[in-house]
Structure 1
């Protein structure tokens, strides 16, 4: 799928900034990452514990529902599967919700995704990226610092929660923040699944 422009999209070299609500003011002493839902035992991680997890560098294309696409984005982060390795999920788990801060609420934003689509190197909780000059830098607070989920290119970017706070494991699919407002549950840009 690399460098393939989905229908209704245009290519950009910049990384536009779009988000709902206030920019989260990171506080390492209070920041937590929770793994919960259909799991044998819930787990809560500190920022330091998260940052000690194995790292992955990957190139991921981004497609925003507002019609821009940005190809070949280099990110450094923690693969979704590393969090999955920390817990035992219950039988029948097929979906997740990835949560993020929204106006002060750690679980105010969420995006639903199918679990089996998130097991590769293109499913990252990122903290660094290569900018337009190809230099590594931390992502900015407006882009989701300290940790932002970047979904595989098979999903529109609204599935990429900013200021992430946890993952809930689910047996049944469930609407996230934008899905409750009428956006597509599956969000495949190549099928132009923007709205329901």
Structure 2
């Protein structure tokens, strides 16, 4: 796996915790995950149904817009492609928006992403992780428990929605939470695409 530090970044072995808004409580009974937008029929999955989906383990490099980079973190989770198998998308879907909780609003946070780069093993909805200093353990609440999206390293980590609540499938790109506040729509750390 390559270990290229993007411009303006420094390497850390820690996984810093950064977020805006409250940390939501998890209730397995009421929690569900919605697949909607440009699909023939919407789906809603319980926590149990999500956790019964096929799992993927992948090692990812993470790059945060606040300038830290963490290499070689291994995650276990559900690949985006597994969730895509559960719906029939309308023709022309090229983007998604991944939603998460923000100040108790189920769809208060979102991040937009192009679909094509997300079809590999490095686009995961994760629930546990390890690195050279830690054995396997669940992600904690502040990191997005019970489920958090980790994008490929070609995207800054704000695209990695915490406390995920659903995926909207889209034909046209649409700004998410930070993009509406002036951050880059494309967010490539190697091109230092921090702001619009």
Q: TM-score range by the shorter chain?
A: over 0.9
For residues 141 and 45 of structure 2, the distance between their equivalents in structure 1, rounded to whole angstroms, comes to 20
- Cα offset for 1:156? 0.1
TM-score normalised to structure 2 length? 0.98
What runs of 5+ residues in structure 1 fail to find an aligned partner? Answer: none
Q: Which residue in 1 is equivalent to 2:87? A: 87
- 1:24 corresponds to which residue? 24
Contact 2:125–2:147 (CA under 8 A) maintained in structure 1: yes
* Correspondence list, 1:20-169, <5 A: 20-131=20-131, 133-169=133-169
Counterpart of 1:117 in 2: which secondary structure? helix
Query: Structure 2 unaligned runs (5+)?
Result: none
* Deviation, structure 1 residue 131: 4.6
Write the distance in 2 (CA, Å) between the matches of 1:109 and 1:134.
Answer: 29
Runs of at least 4 residues of structure 1 off by over 3 A?
none
Partner of 2:8: 8
1:79 touches 1:121 (CA, 8 Å); kept in 2? yes
SS in 2 for 1:168: strand
Provide TM-score, normalisation by structure 1.
0.98
- Cα distance between partner residues in 2 of 1:3 and 1:52: 33
**Preserved CA contact (<8 Å) 1:24 1:101:** yes
- Alignment partners' CA distance in 2, 1:121 and 1:50: 17
Q: Secondary structure at the match of 2:93?
A: coil
- Tell me how many residue pairs correspond in the alignment: 196
C-alpha contact (below 8 Å) 2:96/2:169 kept by paired residues: yes
Given that 1:59 and 1:74 are in contact with CA atoms closer than 8 Å, whether structure 2 keeps it comes out as yes
**CA deviation after TM superposition for structure 1 residue 24, in Å:** 1.1
User: Which string of whole-angstrom CA distances, capped at 9 and with x for unpartnered residues, describes residues 134-192 of structure 1?
Assistant: 30000000000000000000000000000000000000000000000000000000000
Distance 2:160 2:134 in 1: 22
Contact 2:72 2:131 in 1 (8 A): no
1:132: how far off?
5.2
DSSP 3-state at the match of 1:66:
coil
